[in-house]
Amino acid sequence: MSHKRLGEILTVFGRVGLTHLKEKKAPLDDQTTPVKLRLAFELLGPSFVKIGQILSTRSDLLPENYVRELEKLQDDVPPMPKDVALSAIEKELGQPFSAVFSKLEEEPLASASVAQTHRARLLDGQEVIVKIQRPNLAAQTREDLTLLVKLARRIPASWIPMVDLPKVLSQLQASIEAEIDFRNEAQHLRDFARENADIACIGVPKVFEDFTTSQMLVESYIPGIRINHYQELLAAGYDLEDMGQKLMLSFIKQVFKDGYFHGDPHPGNLIIHEGKIFFIDFGIMGRLEEGIRITLNDILTSFTSQDVEGMTRAVLAMTTSEKQVNMTQLGRDIERMMTRYGSINLGLLSLSDLVEDLLQIFQKHDLQADPGITILGKAALQIEGVFRDLAPDVDLMTLAKKYFMENMKTDILSQVLNRDTLLIELLYLLRNGKSIPRRLNQLMEQILNGRILINHDLIDYPARFRQLQGLANRLVLSILFLALILGGSLLSFQESQQTLANTLLIGAALLFIWLLALILQSERVGKRECV
C-alpha cells in the first residue's frame, strides 16, 4: 500500500512541477514552489489538505509566502453519501443508529477534508450535532505524513529554499495526531467551558460523552445567529457595539488570564443565542504558559513606552535559537518595527499586526517561538476583524487597559512576585548592585582629582550644603534599604532563617518609611525656598 501511495505522491509532485525546482536565488514573491505545493496537496486528497492546513498555522516554521499560499487550501469537499456517513456513525456507536438517534438530517451542515457534520435528534428529543470523520482518514493521514517525511529527506535543500522540510513535518506529527482524534476536541470543549463558567455572556456546546469517540463527536446543537449577520442581530434587538466589546474582552481574558484560547474564532464559529456568544468548533486551541503570558505583558509595556531594550529582552525571553543571535541587528530590526508604529494612535493599534511583525523578526533571526504565539496571531486577526466591524468607535487599547486594571491586578502582581521571578531579579540586583559603592567611590575620586568638573552656584552656601548632605543621607539609606530587602528576600527561601528574614524585611520597611519622610521633607523645604 505504501509503495502504491508513494508512487501517487511522486506522480502528483511531478505533474505540478515539484520535482525540478531550483529557486534559491529567486525573490520570495516570484517563487512558484509554494503555489505548486498547494496544488499538489489539493490533488492528493483530504489527508494532504489537512496536513497543509496545519502547516499554514505554523508561521514560526514556514516562510510567509508558504503560509499565505497554504491558507488557500480549500476545505469544502464533496460530502459523503448519507449511507456512508450512517455506516461510519454506526461503526463508532457499536450499535444501530436507531438505538440512539431518532433523526439524522441527510444534508450535512458542513463537509470538510477531515469530517462532516450533521444535525440530528436523540431519542429523548435533544437536538445535537454529529461530527463524523471520513472513513480511513486517520490511517491515511498517518501513512501520508510518514511517506512525506521520508520523501522530504531525499529532496535537495536548494529545491525548497528557506524550509527545513523534514524538521517541519516531524514537528507536525503530534499536532496532526491530536487534531484527528476527536476525543481531544471534546476535552477542549470541556476545558473551555470550565474556564468560562463564570462568564455570563459566553456559551459553549455540551459534549455527549457516551457517544463521543476518536472519530465521532456529538455535541448540543446551538440555534442562533452568526456574529457577522449584522442585520439579523439588529432585528433581534442586539446591541452590536456591546457584543463587540464582550467578544474582545472574552478574547483578552482567554489569552492573558487563562492562557487557553480558541484558535479559530472566525465568524462561522461564533453564534449569538439568548444573549450569549457561543464559541463552536474547538479543533484548534492555543495554549500559553504563564512565562509566555508574562513576556507578552512585557512586550506590550515595552511597545507602548517605545523601550527598544525592553522589547529585545522580551523577544529573547519568548524564543529559543540554535544559532548565535546577532544582538545588534536584532535591536535594529526591533527599533525599526517600533518606529513604524510610533505615530499610530494606540486606539488603532492591532495586536494581530504586532504579533505578525514579531513573527517575521523571529523568522529573520532564526528564533523559534512557542507554537501558541503563531496560533495567537491568526486568532487575533480574526477576532479583531469582527470586533472592529461590531464596534468601530471603541478604542481597543482603552478597552484592554480597563480590563487589565479591573480584572488582572492580582494576577499581574502574583506573576511579578512569584518565587522564580523574584529570585531571578534578586540575583540580577546582587550581580550588578554590588558594584554601586565601588562606582560611587570611583566617581568621587574622579571629581576630587579634577577629571570631572561640576559647575555649581554656591550662592547661599549653607542651604546648598544642606541639600547635598540630605542627598547623601538618602543615598546611604537607599543602599541600606537595598541590602536589607535583598538579604531578607534571599533568606526567606530558607525555612530555618524565616525569623531573621522577617526582621530584615521589617527593617527595610522602616527604612523605606524614613526615606519617604525625608523626601517629603525636602520637597516642603524646597517649596519654602522658592517662595
CATH number, domain of 88, equals 3.30.200.20
Shared-domain flag, residues 242 and 158: no
Same domain flag for 260 and 189: no
Q: Judge contact between 403 and 460, C-beta under 8 A.
A: no
* Residue 345 structural domain: 228-416
Q: Could you tell me if 205 and 349 lie in one domain?
A: no
pLDDT of residue 89: 94
**Percent of the chain surpassing pLDDT 90:** 27
- Would you state the pLDDT for residue 437? 62
Q: What is the mean pLDDT of the chain?
A: 79
Same domain? 265 vs 400: yes
Q: Which of 360, 383, 416 is the last residue of a domain?
A: 416
Intra-chain end-to-end CA distance of the chain, in Å: 95
3-class DSSP state of 73: coil
State the maximum Cα–Cα separation within the chain, in Å, rounded to a whole number.
102
The answer to whether residues 305 and 264 belong to one domain is yes
Comparing C-alpha atoms, which of 362, 164, 191, 312 is closest to residue 260?
191
Q: What per-residue confidence (pLDDT) applies to 124? A: 93
Which range is least confidently modeled, 86-90, 225-229, 325-329? 325-329
| H or E stretch at 371 | helix 371-390
* Cell 521633607 belongs to residue: 521
Q: Tell me the per-residue pLDDT of 379-434, one tens digit each, with 9 for 90 and over.
A: 988 999 999 999 988 888 778 777 777 776 555 555 554 555 555 555 555 555 55
Q: What is the pLDDT of residue 24?
A: 47
Pair 398, 438 in one domain:
no
CA 366 remoteness from chain centre: 19
- Cell readout for 100 is 440512539
Considering the domain architecture, whether residues 316 and 446 belong to the same structural domain is answered as no
Task: List pLDDT tens digits, range 362-376.
Answer: 888 888 877 788 888
52-56, 78-82, 413-417, 526-530: which has the highest mean pLDDT? 78-82
Asked if 380 and 449 sit in the same domain, the reply is no
**Based on the domain organization, do 213 and 166 belong to the same domain?**
no
Of residues 460 and 333, the one with the higher pLDDT is 333
Question: Are 244 and 338 found together in one domain?
Answer: yes
256 and 354 assigned to the same domain: yes
Confidence band, pLDDT 50/70/90 cuts, at residue 127: very high
* Whole-number Å distance between alpha carbons of 80 and 87: 11
- Tell me: do 260 and 349 sit in the same domain: yes
Q: What is the pTM of this model?
A: 0.70
Residue 531 has pLDDT above 50, yes or no: no
According to DSSP, residue 105 is labeled -
**How many structural domains are present in the chain?**
4
